Structure 1
Amino acid sequence: MNHQDKINKYAQLVVHVGLNIQQGQKLLISADIDAIEFVRAVTEAAYKRGAVNVMQRLTDGPSTQLKYQYAPVETFKEIYDYEKDEIKVHLKERIAHLRIYSQTPELLKDADPEKIAANAATVGELNKDFARAVGRFEFSWCIVAFPNTAWAELVFPDLKGEEARTQLLDAMIKAVRADQPDPVKAWEEHNHNLNSRAKLLTEKGYDRLHYKSERTDVEIGLNKHHIWMGASAINAEGHEIQVNMPTEEVFTSPDFRRVNGVIGNTRPLSYNSAIIDDFSLTFKEGSVIDFEAGQGYEVLKNMLDTDEGAKRLGEIALVPDDSPISNSGILYYNTLFDENASCHVALGRSFPGALKDGKNLAKEQLEANGLNQSLIHVDFMIGGPDLSIEGIHADGTKEFIFKDGNWVI
């Protein structure tokens, strides 16, 4: 495939499998201007699929840097009425949403951590109803990525310019299975495998999991009626969507009140375009009581201070070390990809669908059942070739789920 063929095939996969656009549907694309050629390809594919209106919300990385350099911290705390009104309209009309990551993960490496924290809290407050609808799959949504040059040169430091960007695009194309002769069929098979694994774990009905590796030793409790989920989801209108492309995980939300021990990261975390690395979190009765970080300490501190729920777990996800992205040896510095090379957990908001009948419960009821509530949801990677995970039943019997980083059930 030439360059344009790759982009077109990727766009068609996102529209047909990721968003599963329906006749008469509206779509909003959020992206950086560095991804404009991909935005145009998705726009065309969506219209050909039957969309009646494809809207675009574009940002510019260098302009964002200038805002963080010159704007006062108060600017990052402002919420305007038109922003709230727009979200209400999008939720009412169930407009499909596509988020395209395309900026370098180091975009805000020199920005004031206080401004980063203020912006994260403001965005979380503004989007709390939207985020709740996302967790309940009330509309079609999908998150994908497209490379820019600075990001590509970070991932492939021996390459420069267009050569690096092409290399990163090729890696992304492979990771989302768009290089397959029939990408749609490849995703159908992939979904079946992950959903079967999720069904098996749900049937096991573990009471808690024990994670053990060089950097992690933690016990994580599970709700009695927890559900494991696979790659795809069913939206409120009954259509199958693929919310993350790529994805290699099965996941659930733990009982946030029953987390005790230490969790250490195994890959860098890019949070709001700043890198946090070499960090560990100590949990007691569900909350972080201590932490350390070799890089991005202040960013991590401010993230944990977002709200009470930011100190608790909202997701646990299982990904074998023997998986395509892990085997590629590529470190993307981007959670969308790196979380699919490694078992991971998330601080913050949980998934209502991870609890039986959870989609019908109010947030207070979810929290009463141990599903965490927060303005944030931040995944970070904890897996590797030395990770073991034991599933522990309520009667104390145990069995290994993972050994040496891979499935054993």
Structure 2
Amino acid sequence: MDQRIHEHAAVLVDWSARIEAGDDVVLRVDEGAHDLAVAVAEKLGERGANYLATYASDEVEAAFVGAREGEFEQDPGFEVAMLERADAVLSLRGQTNTAAKAAAPGERRSAYKKSRTRIKELRMDTDWVSTLHPTRAHAQDAGMGYEEYRDFVYDAVLRDWESLADEMARMKELLDAGSEVRLVKEDTDLAMSIENRTAVNSAASVAYDSHNLPSGEVFTAPYDPEGEVYFDVPMTHDGARIRDVRLAFEDGEVVDWSAEVGEHALDDIFATDEGARRLGELGIGMNRGIDRFTDNILFDEKMGDTVHLAVGRAYGDCLPEGQQGNQSAVHVDMITDVSEDSRLEIDGEVVQRNGRFRWEDGFEG
């Protein structure tokens, strides 16, 4: 087994999830992530934790969703019981067919998601972390050979996370102190409020309220967006390819949308519920170990020189205590490249121009 798989497992268990002796850990294992699951299980055993492995195949889920007639059971009790007991949920992604979910109709997939609202909330109440084991399917999506893709993944995962966390703390401080963010680039001029929000320094560890490995973004929960935004980074959502998305916001809500490819998938997203047409997240990518787009949101949204917005659910970590943000059964990230002819402002002050932050060499104010 590649030694980097064991290093990946160690980062996940020790830095990201902070697993301790006696913790009850659920492993959600994709069909292509077997080797990583073996290495993670070994680390859990060394730490004195307990584990339960579940099989998390998109192909299996699509078969169930497509075949089930009538309403889906709301939050199955056996799964609720498992998550109520869990201290941590580690999702080991690694698909062998990244388009498998497309086998089920879009409206059935949306209905299934809505039926599992509490399941998602319970998982997010644990020390959950999601990561990815490189597979040939993901390499193909990224347009890379398998060996090249493995190098790419481990360059993104095996970082000096403490140093990156210190750098990202600068952006968190700016967002926490700000009232309004404005993003300007070609076909984009969008303003949104961030007053009384708390940004998350997403340094790939639950100690930073961060739940993805790799990570490397600073995100918050914006509201009352006004204007237009163009997302030029292609993406795949529930097996559907989406490209060149344009959204228009009025009174805080998406009022118009289009896509050169996959507009039907946008229709399904925005039809999910009322919250699906409102913003749940503004994220600023800062992981320069990720140097290319791969059609995988786990990596693409963390890449330096990018900004992403998500429609749907807002993360509670960004909200004042006792306050609810935008609620939805979906959280769909869309990415725009800010490496050229762009600026990001906080309260009228430019904090990033053409991908360079104001504390970096080459920044032009």
Per-residue Cα deviation, 1:127-158 (whole angstroms, up to 9, x for no partner): x23434555xx32111110122222123235x
- d(CA) in 2 for partners of 1:291 and 1:273? 20
| Equivalent of residue 74 in structure 1, options 55, 69, 72 | 69
| Equivalent of residue 354 in structure 1, options 318, 327, 335 | 318
Change (3 A) 1:401 1:10: same
- d(CA) in 1 for partners of 2:333 and 2:44? 29
Partner of 1:403: 353
- d(CA) in 2 for partners of 1:318 and 1:241? 16
Change (3 A) 1:166 1:260: same
- d(CA) in 2 for partners of 1:244 and 1:59? 17
Q: List runs of 5+ in structure 2 lacking aligned partners.
A: 360-365
Please give the TM-score of this superposition, normalised by the length of structure 2: 0.89
Partner of 1:170: 151
Shift of 1:172: 0.7
- d(CA) in 1 for partners of 2:48 and 2:170? 31
* Contact 1:31/1:59 (<8 A) preserved: yes
| Equivalent of residue 198 in structure 2, options 227, 230, 248 | 227
Partner of 1:334: 296
Change (3 A) 1:383 1:331: closer
Within 5 A, what are the aligned runs for 1:2-401?
3-51=1-49, 53-60=50-57, 63=60, 71-72=66-67, 74=69, 77-79=71-73, 83-91=76-84, 93-103=85-95, 106-108=98-100, 111=103, 115-126=105-116, 128-133=117-122, 138-156=125-143, 164-177=145-158, 186-202=160-176, 205-223=177-195, 225-232=196-203, 242-255=210-223, 258-320=224-286, 323-325=288-290, 328=291, 330-341=292-303, 342-357=306-321, 361=322, 365-366=323-324, 371-386=325-340, 387-392=342-347, 398-401=348-351
Change (3 A) 1:64 1:234: closer
Counterpart amino acid of 2:115? E
- d(CA) in 1 for partners of 2:337 and 2:188? 9
Counterpart amino acid of 2:106? I
Shift of 1:196: 3.9
Partner of 1:160: none
- d(CA) in 1 for partners of 2:208 and 2:191? 33
Cα RMSD (Å) of the superposition?
2.5
Counterpart amino acid of 2:23? Q
- d(CA) in 2 for partners of 1:64 and 1:85? 17
Shift of 1:351: 1.7
- d(CA) in 2 for partners of 1:61 and 1:149? 16
* Contact 1:29/1:97 (<8 A) preserved: yes
Per-residue Cα deviation, 1:3-58 (whole angstroms, up to 9, x for no partner): 4211111111111111111110111111222111111111111111221x211111
- d(CA) in 1 for partners of 2:211 and 2:271? 28
* Contact 2:201/2:208 (<8 A) preserved: no
* Contact 1:32/1:59 (<8 A) preserved: yes
Per-residue Cα deviation, 1:179-214 (whole angstroms, up to 9, x for no partner): xxxx6xx21222222234312431xx3221111111
Change (3 A) 1:343 1:405: same
Q: Which has a greater percent of strand?
A: 2
Counterpart amino acid of 1:74? E
* Contact 2:201/2:209 (<8 A) preserved: no
Per-residue Cα deviation, 1:256-314 (whole angstroms, up to 9, x for no partner): xx111111112112212222111111111111111111111111100111000000001
Change (3 A) 1:87 1:133: closer
- d(CA) in 2 for partners of 1:107 and 1:400? 39
Counterpart amino acid of 2:135? N
State the identity %: 25
| Partner SS, residue 129 of structure 2 | strand
* Contact 1:259/1:287 (<8 A) preserved: yes
- d(CA) in 1 for partners of 2:333 and 2:346? 22
Counterpart amino acid of 1:57? T
Counterpart amino acid of 1:251? F
Change (3 A) 1:44 1:291: same
Change (3 A) 1:78 1:343: same
Shift of 1:242: 4.3
Counterpart amino acid of 2:295? Y
Change (3 A) 1:167 1:14: same
Change (3 A) 1:217 1:108: farther
* Contact 2:204/2:214 (<8 A) preserved: no
Shift of 1:340: 0.8
